[in-house]
Amino acid sequence: MPRLLDPVRLGDVDCRNRIAMAPCTRCMSPGAMPGDDVAAYYERRAADGVGLLISEGTVICARGNGYPDVPGIYNEQQIQAWKGVTDRVHAAGGRIACQIWHVGAVAHPVTTGGALPESPSGISPTGDIRRLRKPDGSYEQYGQSEAVGEQRILELIDLYRQAARNAVDAGFDMVEIHGAHGYLIDAFINLNTNQRDDDWGGQQRTRFAREVARAVVDEIGAGRTLMRISPVMNVGGEGWQRPQETLPQLLTELAQSGLRILHISNLDYDEAIIPGPLAGPGNGAGAASDAARKVPLHEAARALWQGQLIGVGSLSPERADRAISEGEVDVAAFGRALIANPDLVSRIRAGKALAAYDPALLEQLI
């Protein structure tokens, strides 16, 4: 059986081991342009041997931005700036994916260039925007969002497609579609935030995710495309209603789109969060769960998904190695551990303990 440090062919991309860097928002790209410090940050982890780096969320349009100083991938200047990052990662022997992102309603006019944030049904989070402060130091608050119409939905799908093409032109090896955590794609999937009564809501609430995936796969190929999903981790709101129904439906439709690589996200990899029985059109996987118990996301996804899986969720190196060797996932991703340990791969090889994560580390790129 494979182990964590064994090489893997992920889609069409050869990775030197099964360790991925999970996408981590850093807010260190003024003007939506990654600079030399961002390039050095990714280069350092590539040089240590991470198999696949997945970039921080990178917005597909100005209106898709929800945080200060996050990078974009929607104009030529940004493409060239990212080229400076990917060149250094490749020179260090690494592979890197661009996570393309539209935050949906998880935004504020301050971050969207003055426009209202976009959402499936005009439903927005409430409370503080923890990364966005007013001049007096207090936090900005979430507010109104605009429900997107049919024409705008089609435009958004094309913006994802174009962002994927831009990422490849910038030298990225792969593209990850951010379909999780309450942002735009996840807001369509989630009945709490999608209350539409047209062909993009109700039983067709997973259609937007499917069509975005299809557009990206058609543009750059299934072997270079992955999507991140999460039933429970939701910025500013609740996770999916009835995940035992939504997960099979979503994975069936993503497979129909041509997608072959899925990144499943939960804060705790082993937390049992999917109730039984799994039900959905054409999944044929009822044995994955029963009504008497819940199962971890990775167990449910493995039963439903025929392609490759990346797993994440506060994994220790030992648990990640077991997840790989037991076939639960094909690649294990580390987020905070790689912020705290740029030398994570070297530490794993040497059997050394990892340095603990401290939120203060978010104040600088190391």
Alpha helices in 170-242 (DSSP H): 184-189, 207-220
Closest CA to 187 of 127, 130, 118: 118
* H or E element at residue 54: strand 52-59
Reply yes or no on whether 183 is catalytic: yes
Give the contacts of 279 (CB within 8 A, at least 6 positions apart). Answer: 244, 245, 248, 286
DSSP 149-185: -HHHHHHHHHHHHHHHHHHHHTT-SEEEEE--TTSHH
C-alpha torsion 250→254→256→258, nearest 10: -170
In order of 65, 272, 273, 280, 314, the CA distances from 296 in angstroms are 31, 4, 6, 18, 14
Dihedral angle sign, alpha carbons of residues 258, 260, 265, 270: positive
Paired residues of 265 in beta bridges:
312
Angle at 63 between CA 37 and CA 199, to 5 degrees: 130
Whole-angstrom distance, CA of residue 32 vs CA of residue 311: 28
β-bridge pairing 174-178 and 96-101: parallel
By three-state DSSP, how is residue 92 classified? coil
Query: Of the listed 42, 142, 160, 183, which one is catalytic?
Result: 183
Query: Which residues have a catalytic role annotated?
Result: 183
